[in-house]
Amino acid sequence: MNLPATSKLPFGGDYNPEQWPEEVWQEDYRLFDSARIDTVTLGVFVWALTQPAPDVYDFSTLDRIVERAAAEGRNICLATGTGAHPAWLARAYPEVTRTDFEGRRHRFGQRHNSCPNSPVFRRLSAELARRVAARYADNPSVVAWHVGNEYGGACHCDLCAAGFRDWLRARYGTLEALNAAWYTTFWSHTFTDWDEIEPPSALTEHWRGPNHTAFQGITLDYLRFMSDAMLANFRDEKAAIRESSALPVTTNFMGMYRPIDYHRWAADLDFASWDNYPPDDRSPAQMALAHDLMRGLKGGQPFWLMEQTPSYTASRDVNPLKRPGVMRLWSWQAVAHGADAVLFFQMRASRGACEKYHGAVIGHAGRGDTRVFREVTQLGTELDRLGGLVLGARTPARVALLFDWDSWWALEISDGPSRLVRYQQVVLAYYRALWDAGVDVDVVPVTTDLSPYDVVVAPALHMLKGDLPQRLEAVAERGGSVVTTFLSGRVDEHDNAFLMDVPGPLGPLMGIRIDEWDAREPEVVNPVRLRTGAGRVEVEVESRLVFELVIPQGAEVVGSYQADFYAGTPAVTRNRFGAGLGWYVAAGLDQEGVGTVVRQVLEQHDLVGPYPDVPELETAVRVAPDGTRLLFLLNHRAEPVEVVAHTGGTDLLSGDPIEYGQPIGLGPYGVMVLRTSTP
């Protein structure tokens, strides 16, 4: 574990004093004091400031900023500042800007604008990181390095084409191997020279956007390559930092962000961090999933919540205000799922440009008496009260959910059976069922050791790589349960179909075979009659989008279609395998259907949480290094809720003792952090 060394959970966020005259800084720190803000992220976009010309480095302003923060006793998360390149760089080296999917070379503008394969970008970004680290490594207030910012996007320029060919040479060795992997006999695509290979784009293999390609193999490899190319950028800077500092290094991720395979990156980060901007204010399960995914990057090690808005975003078409209490609730949810820091974007609102109306702890009027500022202060006070107790605490999960960028990409760039199936939605439906049941979940890559888990859920596991089928079988073999769904087990690592019955190598575990499948427009519903747990009645739920026609090969039917020519055939099956079970869900069940299946699986392993039938009441557990067990209760509803304590302990926020069996109430968006008496 290599998290920044702090005595308590850091609280604060992105701070850009370079945008303000120094008299404003003084007011800032006065307000920071009052809100218990102890940590600032500095210098995220200061390249033009620190290197105003090709041969000129000028750290005078950043020096003052860092010195002031240190003098004020704040922890500093110091950025290398390479998330946006300066205008002079784009003018001096036009190749540093990106060429987009449409084949258009961009000119200077925006941010995240550097071609990852541009030699000048790689050289100068590393050099800047080197100088920043060398200059501030000895400042004891600096606790972590922040490289770049929200890596992402893609470039399709000639430099990237050359880089892609090198990457392919390293991956495949020969053109024969590449032609086989990409199945180029199809449509006369055989490559006879590496230089014939073009980055897939709107000008080459793609029709209607990035997901619609003539050759999945090319497109899939380009996604992998681009993720690796940006990882190389991160590595460039980290290596440069390491020349003078051993402090932990991170970059801020974005949760379920498709362009970057964070699992390929995880080993290179000392600790994970991410920016939580959920699409709306009705997404507690989706945020929980993203937190768990981020925690899963480093094997369960806590992460930093690097950014969240205290109030509203600005980049959306509609930017709603977080209701009173919601920012606090969501901050505690992050902690409950493994966050060891709670940070905001941003400390003081910009006057101009596109984030002018993005919420901030301090608004344009500079007031400390706004509702938002009061809520930030309340949270700061609570985090102070918590102290260092939670630092390094782990989630004791016995359920794993497999998340796989390769399957995500392969599923969504596939032609047929249905472009309407979205990986995130399928994954979220299964995660949400687990979340509703109140069970702690590790969201992990497919390469994870599965031996600690009783239940492994693998939604839409389109691609199977390596020994994963064997490892899943081993879970069942020893008595565990494995759940998978339609469109799983279809392709190998090159996106070529397995030449065997669907679901490919998962067939034996699932005890089924699938010869054909139907896909329908979203308004077409096929009802599915589904057995619930032992002794209970059947329910009828809805299925949509994809309907695989299952021929049992030993599996027992748990649910069956009720309509169309395949009425009466299996939609959900369960196969005894060793001492355990393989569950297969052949259709796009609605949330009730997914919940019905998942609940049965969990019940069998006695893994259902204490309040599975209280809607939107989330529970989560963290166990501190010293064995202290913290139970988080989070009420995501605008109405109060009352439940009976299923364990005794102390509410760390109020200080109140809680006894087993006593009624406990949580107000609207209420939070309780219970240090349980029975670890």
Question: Contacts with its own copies in 552-581 (CB under 8 A)?
Answer: 565
Residue that has been written with the tokens 């940070």 in this structure: 343
Minimum distance of its own copies from residue 20's CB (angstroms): 9
Q: Which of residues 33, 34, 91, 94 is near its own copies by CB under 8 A?
A: 91
Q: Which stretch binds its own copies (CB under 8 A): 6-14, 242-250, 308-316, 620-628?
A: 308-316
Q: Smallest gap, in angstroms, from Cβ of residue 84 to its own copies?
A: 4
Measured CA distances, 494 to 221, 498, 507, 648 (Å): 8, 10, 20, 52
Bridge partners of 580? 577
Q: Which stretch binds its own copies (CB under 8 A): 87-95, 422-430, 532-540, 591-599?
A: 87-95
Which residue in the set 257, 277, 357, 611 belongs to the binding site for its own copies (CB under 8 A)? 357
Cβ proximity to its own copies: between 21 and 663 the closer is 21
- By CB under 8 A, tell whether 424 contacts its own copies: no
Per DSSP, what are the bridge partners of residue 39? 12, 75
Strands (E), 39-91: 39-42, 75-79
Q: Which stretch binds its own copies (CB under 8 A): 65-73, 140-148, 495-503, 654-662?
A: 495-503
Nearer to its own copies, 83 or 593 (CB): 83
What minimum distance in Å lies between the beta carbon of 12 and its own copies? 20
Q: Is the dihedral of CA 506, 508, 510, 516 positive or negative?
A: positive
Task: Give buried/exposed letters for 643-663 (b at 16+ CB in 10 A, else e).
Answer: bebeeebebbbeeeebeeeee
Q: What is the DSSP letter of 45?
A: T
- Residue 503 interacting with its own copies (CB under 8 A): no
By CB under 8 A, is residue 498 in contact with its own copies? yes
Choose between 368 and 578: whose C-beta lies nearer to its own copies.
Answer: 368
Nearest-approach distance from CB 106 to its own copies, in angstroms: 5
409 vs 412: CA distance, rounded Å? 5
Instruction: Considering only residues 377 through 396, tell me which ones interact with its own copies, judged by CB under 8 A.
Output: none
Nearer to its own copies, 360 or 401 (CB): 360
Cα 93 to Cα 86, 97, 115: the distances in Å are 11, 8, 11
**Contact present, 165 and 197 (Cβ < 8 Å):** yes
Per-residue DSSP letter, 213: B
Residue the block writes with tokens 């920071």? 32
- Binding positions for its own copies, 14-43, rule CB under 8 A: 16, 18-19
Give the residue carrying structure tokens 């080296």. Answer: 93
* 81 touches its own copies (CB under 8 A): yes
Query: With binding defined as CB under 8 A, does residue 523 bind its own copies?
Result: no
Closest CB to its own copies among 349 and 541?
349
**Whether the Cβ atoms of residue 145 and residue 248 lie closer than 8 Å to each other:** yes
The single residue among 23, 55, 138, 521 that binds its own copies, judged by CB under 8 A, is 521
Give the pair of three-digit tokens for residue 275: 């920016």
Query: At closest approach, how far in Å is the CB of 568 from its own copies?
Result: 14
Strands 570-577 and 556-561 turn out to be: antiparallel
Instruction: Give catalytic residues, as residue numbers.
Output: 150, 307
| Closest to 291 measured CA to CA, from 327, 323, 331, 260 | 331
Among 6, 283, 370, 569, binds its own copies (CB under 8 A): 370
The Cα–Cα gap between 335 and 282 comes to: 19
Q: Tell me which of 170, 318, 534, 537 binds its own copies, using CB under 8 A.
A: 318
Among 23, 55, 138, 317, binds its own copies (CB under 8 A): 317
Residue of 245, 220, 246, 200 whose CA lies nearest to 405: 220
- Find the DSSP H helices in 116-215: 119-136, 158-172, 175-182
Piece of 188-196, 260-268, 457-465, 648-656 that binds its own copies (CB under 8 A): 188-196
Buried b (16+ CB within 10 A) or exposed e, 612-637: bebebbbbbbbbbeeeebbbbbbbbe
Stretch of 96-104, 163-171, 531-539, 554-562 contacting its own copies, by CB under 8 A: 96-104
Q: Is 662 in the site for its own copies (CB under 8 A)?
A: no
- Contact call for residue 605 and its own copies (CB under 8 A): no
Cα distance from N-terminal residue to C-terminal residue, the chain:
23
Q: Position 550: which residue type?
A: V
d(CA 379, CA 484) in angstroms, rounded, equals 40
Cβ distance to its own copies smaller for residue 26 or 315: 315
In the complex with its own copies, the residue whose CB is nearer, 54 or 396, is: 54
Q: Please report, as residue ranges, which positions from 333 to 352 form the binding site for its own copies (by CB under 8 A).
A: 349-352
Q: Which of residues 118-177 bind its own copies (CB under 8 A)?
A: none
Looking at residue 262, its amino acid is Y
One of 1, 52, 536, 665 touching its own copies (CB under 8 A):
52
**For residues 428-447, which are near its own copies according to CB under 8 A?**
none
Does position 55 bind its own copies by CB under 8 A?
no
CB 648 within 8 A of CB 676: yes
User: Mind spelling out the 3-state secondary structure of 550-600?
Assistant: EEECCCEEEEEECCCCCCCCEEEEEEEECCEEEEEECEEECHHHHHHHHHH
Q: How far is the CB of 497 from its own copies (least distance, A)?
A: 5
- Shortest CA distance to 4 belongs to which of 240, 250, 242, 344? 250
Q: Is the Cβ of residue 262 or residue 547 nearer to its own copies in the bound state? A: 547
CB 501, min distance to its own copies, A: 5
Residue 588 Cβ vs its own copies, minimum distance, rounded to whole Å: 12
488: which 2 tokens?
Answer: 């799983």
Question: What minimum distance in Å lies between the beta carbon of 396 and its own copies?
Answer: 36
Q: How far is residue 416's CA from residue 102's CA, in Å, rounded to a whole number?
A: 24
> Which lies closer to its own copies via its Cβ, residue 569 or residue 604?
569
Contact of 50 with 128, CB cutoff 8 Å: yes
| C-beta of 111 vs 242, nearer to its own copies | 111
Alpha carbon dihedral 652, 654, 659, 660, in 10-degree steps, equals -60
- Give whichever of 103 and 665 is closer to its own copies, judged by the CB atom: 103
Q: Residues touching its own copies: how many (CB under 8 A)?
A: 114
Listed in sequence order, the residues at least 6 apart from 315 whose beta carbon sits closer than 8 Å to its beta carbon are 354, 355, 358
Give the nearest distance from C-beta 28 to its own copies in angstroms: 13
- Closer residue to its own copies in complex, CB, 37/89: 89
Q: Which two tokens stand for residue 155?
A: 């470039």
Strand duo 526-531 + 556-561: pairing: antiparallel
Q: Indicate the SS3 state at residue 457.
A: strand
Least Å distance, CB 634 to its own copies, is: 19
Least Å from the CB of residue 31 to its own copies: 14
Binding flags for its own copies, 192-231, as an x/- string (CB under 8 A): xx-xxxx-x-xxxxxx-----xxxxx--------------
Q: By CB under 8 A, name the one of 250, 418, 484, 619 that touches its own copies.
A: 418
